[in-house]
Amino acid sequence: MLKQFIPENSSPTLEKFTNYLMLDGKKSTARKIIDETFNIISKKTSKDPEEVFKIALENVKPKQEVRAKRIGGAVYQIPHEVPAKRQIALAFRWILGAARGRKGSPMAQRLASELIDASNEQGSAIKKREDTHRMAQANKAFSHLARY
């Protein structure tokens, strides 16, 4: 019998991720998907799936992002530090968006592949974070406008 990961030894972060994954209030379906995902990860990588999840989350979290600010009729993209709660929210959103963007296999398989890729610094979610950082770096010249 495969190991059950949820709900006995679930962390608050994993519960939050389950809520992000859930569609139309079907939490039991979301939990089954995460359970299958963790089983697939443990088979593919022979590592602890929760550890892979944590590493993937850390790798996808953005440190900086740009926010549009209108000053004197012009709109500037101003780089800002991302607060911790928003980092987690964006990471969840990007991982799930990348997993849902992969076609041709069940959601558990797609999510497992995306989490493994993210833990190895690859995949669509990592590309999204790098694009966000690149945008913030490119607009660093406007950072003096952040105080307005």
Compute the half-sphere exposure of residue 5: CA atoms within 13 Å on the CB side of its CA: 22
- What pLDDT is recorded for position 2? 55
| Beta bridge pairs of residue 81 | 64
- What pLDDT is recorded for position 9? 60
| pLDDT higher than threshold 70 for residue 10 | yes
Please report, rounded to a whole number, the percentage of residues in the chain having pLDDT higher than 90: 82
Q: How far is CA 32 from CA 59, 104, 108, in A?
A: 25, 19, 9
Domain ranges of the chain: 12-19+29-65+85-129
| pLDDT higher than threshold 60 for residue 5 | no
CATH 2.40.110.10 for the 12-19+29-65+85-129 domain, yes or no: no
- Taking the model in full, what pTM does it have? 0.88
Summarize the confidence of residues 32-42 as an average pLDDT: 94
| pLDDT higher than threshold 60 for residue 4 | no
Chain centre distance of CA 125: 6
Tokens standing for residue 110:
């797609």
- What pLDDT is recorded for position 58? 95
User: Which residues touch 23 (CB under 8 Å, ≥6 apart)?
Assistant: 29, 30
| Beta bridge pairs of residue 74 | 71
Tokens standing for residue 123:
């995949």
Supply the angle between the helices 27-45 and 49-60 in degrees, to the nearest 10: 100
Chain centre distance of CA 135: 18
User: Which residues touch 21 (CB under 8 Å, ≥6 apart)?
Assistant: 30, 33, 34, 96, 111
